[in-house]
Amino acid sequence: MALVETHDLVKVFPITQGLLRRRVGEVRAVDGVSLAVPDGGTLALVGESGSGKTTTGRLIVRLLRPTAGRVLFEGQDITALDEAALRPVRRRMQMVFQNPASSLNPRRRVHEIVEEPLLVHGIGTPRERLLRVAELLDRVELPPRDFLFRYPHALSGGQRQRVAIARALALQPRLLVLDEPTSALDVSVQAKIVALLRRLQQELGLTYLFISHDLSLVRNLADVVAVMYLGRIVEMAPAAAIFSRPRHPYTRALLSAIPVVSADEARLLPRKITLSGEIPSAARVPPGCAFHPRCYARRGECDAVQPALLPVDGAAVRCLLYDPAFGAPGLPEEQPGRVTGSA
Amino acid sequence: MRAPEVIRPAGPGGEVAAALADLRHTRRTEWRRLWFRFRQSTLSLVGLGIVLAVVLAAVFAPVLAPYPGHAGSVVDFDRALQPPSVRNLLGTDDAGRDILSRILFGARISVTLGVVVLAIAVAVGVPLGLVAGYRGGAVGNLIMRVTDVFLAVPPIALALAVTAALRPNLTNAMVAIAFAWWPWYTRLVYGQVLSLREAPFVEAARGLGAGPWRIAVREILPNAWSPIIVKATLDLGFVILTASGLSFLGLGAQAPTPEWGTMIAEGRGYLPGAWWAATFPGLAIFLTVLGFNLLGDGLRDVFDVEIEHWRAGS
Amino acid sequence: MTAAPLLAVEDLQVHFRLYEGRARVLNGVTLAVGEGESVALVGETGCGKSITARAILRLLPPNAEVVAGRILFRGRDLLRLPEDALRRVRGREIAMIFQDPATALNPVFTVGEQMLDVARWQGAGAAMPWARRNRDGEVRQRCLEALRLARVPDPEGILRRYPVELSGGLRQRVLIALALLGRPALLIADEPGTALDVSIQDQILQELRDLVRGRGLAVLYITHNLGVARMVADRVYVMYAGEVAEVGPPAALFDRPLHPYTQGLLAAVPRLTGTMGAGIEGRIPDYRNPPPACRFAPRCPHRLPVCDQVRPPLGPVAAGRAVACHLYPPVAPVPAGSAGARHGAR
């Protein structure tokens, strides 16, 4: 049972110029994303800048309004709800942001920050709220005595992120969307926060949508991984499968670029693939397959035909190499006796 | 409220009580730290000293003035234009009134005027800036364009025009200056709101379901206060200067009100002979404006560090 | 074999004067970079690696105080150089590639204006004023050459562009080119590529590594990313709380870490094999009141009584490896003042 589903989600940002706000172009930040987050599980959205992963996260919690497509939460279509109708829904889905330094109001003390959700929804008396905040802080391993009345600038990065998590848990949500929650943290602090998140998921039965660019991190957290490029999902599969048998050329390239720490891991990586060029701007998405200009396995049709997300062996891949209509040859490096082409 | 998953009645309660007890101490330390940073600059302390002196003079004028009556309509032509002496520390003016006493009462007028004018300017300007910045759109545009029009005219000229249109007295001068001053706060707050509007913690508040008013007032405004406070402090000096200017021109306080500008106008004709009649009120204005300037600068330095602290995420 | 290293930091101690007291951040940092060697200085936030890098070029903030130590570059102590001599070293013999390409370039000048400015200034004093106009052509060539070395496509076009028009990867390459302008012998790369996407970062690091090896440049990489260190460095220094905890070649060091901190750190790195440890208990010490002896002792799972009494020296334990930990008595007696033995230089 999926707690969250999206169907062909699209978000377009217009580019305007001049005094009269003429529309001169558009950025298709999210271009037809369909996914389902299993209840109680973790789905990871992985991608680099411009991939649309952050925007997708925001669309799901309705911080943004989709241009097209649908978002279903607990079976309910929340795509077009207005703010008033969304309020009760917001209690069950919360977001944890990337930079803990700026996601907490610097002028408020910790207890005010964590009790804010309770205040907004009119829950409890001041005394009850304070007690609840203390409980929440306890749950995220911050002793209330020391942390209730501190300001964010007196906290370390890891502590701030714990406060952000406590705030997100205040309304007892079912879904947490975590947008790069540990990118700004040191490795050892990241490990502790991840351990905390795992524990919370178990204790509270939470569902996570985990957005990250760090594949190694995702390997340790996710049940399902969706790789995004320029607004589209290019590959989606159970975590183990994506790492053991990446199918989309971009996924392989991304994996091969991970700076690993040990020889064991280096053996697990695909052979090093250096992508040519840089990620194009989302305002000028290449025609056909968005990835084709940089793809080492590019074929003639790739600049004309947009591949669909097709099921392949328990995974879903968006690449003509797997499309039966084009012969479904698969990746060049997996062809017996074939010399790999270069980009 | 739904019962929480785990109920530990003793635990959180005890911690909360202990934390509350700590809070008083923590608050004191935080103030002390601000004060320490403020103390680093001698000039800021000088500014604070001057401002305190002026405020004290204003509050305690009736007690401090040797001739309180002279601030009103008491005259003593026998003693007109006496140089500074033991009897009249700053001399007397052309109506024999003690200049020191009049200056002290003038402080009362100036401080009241400054505070009232700025209170109005802030009360009008800040909400307008908030609405314009957060709501944006047509309303925001309208507000900012009106503000722009006001800003295009120098404040003194605007105040002049308004007082000239109304009957010249102190109250009208106050209204006129407030009228000229609010747009600066709107512009200031507008800029602040624009930059804060996209901050992650504002987004987080929206994600919680907070409405726009709540966000504007509880999230954005507390982060915008520092420049407002600094500007208001600096402005106090300039407002007083502007009021004195208006009074000097005869458009503000009228005789026999002991407003500093009026006193200068009255004493101007006796320069350079009876220099004390015009010079001491002038010095009073100068010192007051200087004091507020230095204090405002000092506050800005203290607040800047704070801002850097949280911006750097340290 | 030990020829004198190009750069040798010896027992560097740096304190900071704060409102709340004196922060004794760097507590005797010792490291060396040989000619043509790539060395990584690795550590988490607050360990002092950035401060060490800045100390080398004397770019410390005003409230910092170098309390002890030497920084020898080609035999001269940089800490004792007069300001004008130091300025000739900065940029020309030692160049820094700054961390954030978005902010390290001035947004109101074109790339060309900034590069030419630096190149011209670096040549200042070497040419008579009347010869300067001729030098502009030569200076421009130098800039173009540096851009080509940094694999910047269309160097002439880039000179005309403003930093804001360039992508992150391009900006980083411009920063590299800027660093190469003075033809330095030593590069200091501060968190290279951190602000970039993984694929771009990989590309740029590879190119930098090849470039550096090709020209025999020495590089000191400052990074918190162990994987990056493994990729680019011949030797890695692991720093904790203002001290060097461990030294060694990356592959050996990461596969078999000796210092408990390094072990904890590596255990916490998320692995592609799906294992990820739980981090290290505790926090970095308060520099105003640091632990008296070993600074990692309060968090160490193998803490011994001696750890709170005597500071463990950085002693060699195997070829090319050194640890500062009481769990490892040194393999051979450490002769006083022996630079080679002290930091395992080749």
Q: Check if the beta carbon of residue C280 is closer than 8 Å to that of residue C241.
A: no
Does B305 contact chain A (CB < 8 Å)? no
Average pLDDT, chain B: 84
Q: Position A321: which residue type?
A: L
pLDDT-derived band at B3 (thresholds 50, 70, 90) equals very low
What tokens appear for C242 in the block? 């203002």
The chain C residue lying nearest A260, using CA atoms, is: C227
Interface test with C, best of A49, A261, A262 (most C CBs within 10 A): A261
At B87, the pLDDT band (50, 70, 90 cuts) reads: confident
Q: What chain A residue is nearest to B14 in terms of C-alpha separation? A: A145
Nearest CA in chain A to C44: A186
Site from C165, C170, C199, C263 to mutate, A interface, most A CB atoms within 10 angstroms: C199
Cα–Cα distance for residue pair C171/C165, rounded to 1 Å: 9
Calculate how close chain C gets to B289, using CA atoms only, in Å.
31
Q: Which residue has the tokens 């607004």?
A: A231
Question: What is the DSSP code string of B162-204?
Answer: HHHHS--SHHHHHHHHHHHHHHHHHHHHHHHHHHHHT-HHHHH
Cβ pair B6:A135 closer than 8 A: yes
Name the β-bridge partners of C95: C187
Task: State how far the Cα of A300 lies from the Cα of A321, in Å rounded to an integer.
Answer: 11
β-partners of residue C16 are C23, C64
Q: Among C228, C226, C232, C258, which residue's Cα sits nearest to residue C245?
A: C258
* B205–chain A Cβ distance below 8 A for any pair: yes
Lowest mean pLDDT among A51-65, A129-143, B207-221, C41-55: B207-221
Q: Compute the average pLDDT of residues C135-154.
A: 86
Q: How far apart are CA A36 and CA A20, in angstroms?
A: 40
Task: Extract the tokens encoding A236.
Answer: 């989606």
Q: What pLDDT does B47 receive?
A: 92
The span from the CA of C42 to the CA of C225, in Å, is: 7
Q: Residue A206: is its pLDDT beyond 90?
A: yes
Comparing CA positions, the residue from C39, C3, C25 lying closest to residue C220 is C39
**Cβ–Cβ of A189/C226 closer than 8 Å?**
no
Mutate which of C18, C19, C45, C50 to disrupt the B interface (most B C-beta within 10 Å)? C19
Cβ-nearest to A253 among C169, C199, C264: C199
Count the neighbouring beta carbons within 10 Å of the beta carbon of residue C137: 9
Which residue type, as a one-letter code, is found at position A38? Answer: P
List chain A residues with CB under 8 Å of C202: 257, 259, 274
**pLDDT tens-digit series, residues A116-165:** 999 988 888 888 898 899 999 999 999 888 888 888 888 888 999 999 99
Please report, for chain C, the start and end positions of each structural domain, with discontinuous segments joined by +.
7-82+233-344
If we measure between CA atoms, which residue out of A99, A86, A73, A89 comes closest to residue A3? A73
Closest-CA distance, A36 to chain C, in angstroms, reads 23
Tokens coding A62: 């309705």
What are the tokens at C5? 């290293």
pLDDT grade, residue A78 (50/70/90)? very high
Reported as a single tens digit per residue, the pLDDT across B200-257 is 888 888 888 888 888 888 888 888 888 899 999 999 999 999 889 888 888 888 878 8
Instruction: Judge: B16–A130 Cβ closer than 8 Å, yes or no.
Output: yes
Beta carbons within 8 Å of C204's beta carbon, 6+ residues apart: C169, C172, C173, C176, C192, C193, C196
pLDDT at B75: 80
Chain A CB contacts of B204 under 8 Å are 95, 97, 103-104, 164, 167
Interface test mutation site (partner A, options B31, B141, B201, max chain A beta carbons within 10 A): B201
Percent of chain A whose pLDDT exceeds 90: 48
Question: Helix, strand, or coil here: C103?
Answer: helix
Which residues sit opposite C236 in a β-bridge? C40, C248
pLDDT of residue C301: 92
Task: Summarize the confidence of residues C50-57 as an average pLDDT.
Answer: 92
When the pLDDT of each residue in chain A is averaged and rounded to a whole number, the result is: 88
Both tokens of residue B250?
């005869």
C196-211: average pLDDT: 88
Task: Give the chain B residue whose CA is nearest to the CA of C18.
Answer: B37
Q: Pairing relation of β-strands A175-179 and A68-73?
A: unpaired
CB-neighbour burial class of residue A76 (10 A; exposed 0-12, middle 13-18, buried 19+): exposed
Q: Which two tokens stand for residue A59?
A: 């669309």
* C132 pLDDT higher than 60: no
**Taking 70 as the threshold, does the pLDDT of residue B310 lie above it?**
no
Residues 6+ apart with CB under 8 A from B269: none
3-state helix, strand and coil shares in percent for chain C, rounded to the nearest 5? 40, 20, 40
What DSSP string describes C8-44?
Answer: EEEEEEEEEEETTEEEEEEEEEEEEE-TT-EEEEE--
Q: Which of B12, B200, B310 sits opposite A138 (nearest CB)?
A: B12
Cβ–Cβ below 8 Å for B16 and A131: yes
As a whole number of Å, the CA-based R_g of chain C is 21
Q: Which residues contact A276 (CB under 8 A, 6 or more apart)?
A: A293, A294, A343
pLDDT at res. B116: 94
Number of H helices, E strands in chain B: 11, 0
Q: Which chains touch A (3 or more CB pairs under 8 A)?
A: B, C
pLDDT score of A302 more than 80: yes
pLDDT, position C340: 40
A191 touches chain B (CB under 8 A): no
How much is the pTM? Answer: 0.83
- Side by side, the strands of the sheet bearing A22-38 are A22-38, A2-17, A68-73, A76-77
Strand C38-42 relative to strand C218-223, pairing: parallel
Pairing of strands C94-97, A175-179: unpaired
**Each residue's pLDDT tens digit, C58-99:** 989 888 999 999 999 998 999 998 988 888 888 888 999 988
Look at residue C343 and tell me whether its pLDDT is greater than 50: no
The reported pLDDT for the residue numbered A268 is 82
Q: State residue B9's pLDDT score.
A: 44
pLDDT tens-digit map of C217-267: 999 999 999 999 999 999 999 999 999 999 999 999 999 999 999 999 999
Phi-psi region of C294 (alpha: psi -120 to 50; beta: other; left: phi over 0): beta
What's the pLDDT at C126? 47
Q: Pairing between strand C21-33 and C186-190?
A: unpaired
Query: Residue B11 class from Cβ within 10 Å (0-12 exposed, 13-18 middle, 19+ buried)?
Result: middle
CA dist B14 → A131, A134, B18 (Å): 10, 10, 6
Residues of C in contact with B37 (CB under 8 A): 19
Instruction: Tell me how far apart the alpha carbons of residues A227 and A233 are, in angstroms, rounded to a whole number.
Output: 6
Higher pLDDT, C137 or A245: A245
Domain C7-82+233-344 superfamily per CATH: P-loop containing nucleotide triphosphate hydrolases (3.40.50.300)
Residue C346 above 70 pLDDT? no
**Distance of residue B79 Cα from the nearest chain A Cα, in angstroms:** 58
Chain C residues with CB under 8 Å of A263 CB are 251, 255
Lowest mean pLDDT among C88-102, C200-214, C295-309: C88-102
What is the chain B residue with the closest CA to C20?
B33
| A198: confidence class by pLDDT, cuts 50, 70, 90 | very high
Per-residue buried b or exposed e for C234-252, using 16+ beta carbons within 10 Å of the residue's own CB: bbbbbbbbbbbbbbbbbee
| Opening angle at CA A242, ends A237 and A248, nearest 5 | 90
Question: Which pLDDT score, from 0 to 100, does residue C331 have?
Answer: 61
Q: Half-sphere exposure of residue B281, counting CA atoms within 13 Å on the CB side?
A: 31
Nearest-angstrom CA–CA distance, B60 and B77 = 27
Which chain A residues contact residue B203 at CB under 8 A? 63, 97, 103
Beta carbons of B103 and B90 less than 8 angstroms apart: yes
Omega before residue B256 within 30° of 0, cis: yes
Q: Calculate how close chain B gets to A2, using CA atoms only, in Å.
A: 22
Could you report the per-residue pLDDT of B6-41, keeping only the tens digit for each? 434 445 677 777 777 778 887 888 888 888 888 888
C215 close to C148: Cβ distance less than 8 angstroms: no
Q: What is the pLDDT of residues B120-169, one digit of tens each?
A: 999 999 999 999 998 888 888 899 999 999 989 888 888 888 888 888 88
A308: contact with B, CB 8 A cutoff? no
Of C35, C76, C9, C47, the C-alpha closest to C342 is C9
Q: N- to C-terminal Cα distance for chain C?
A: 7
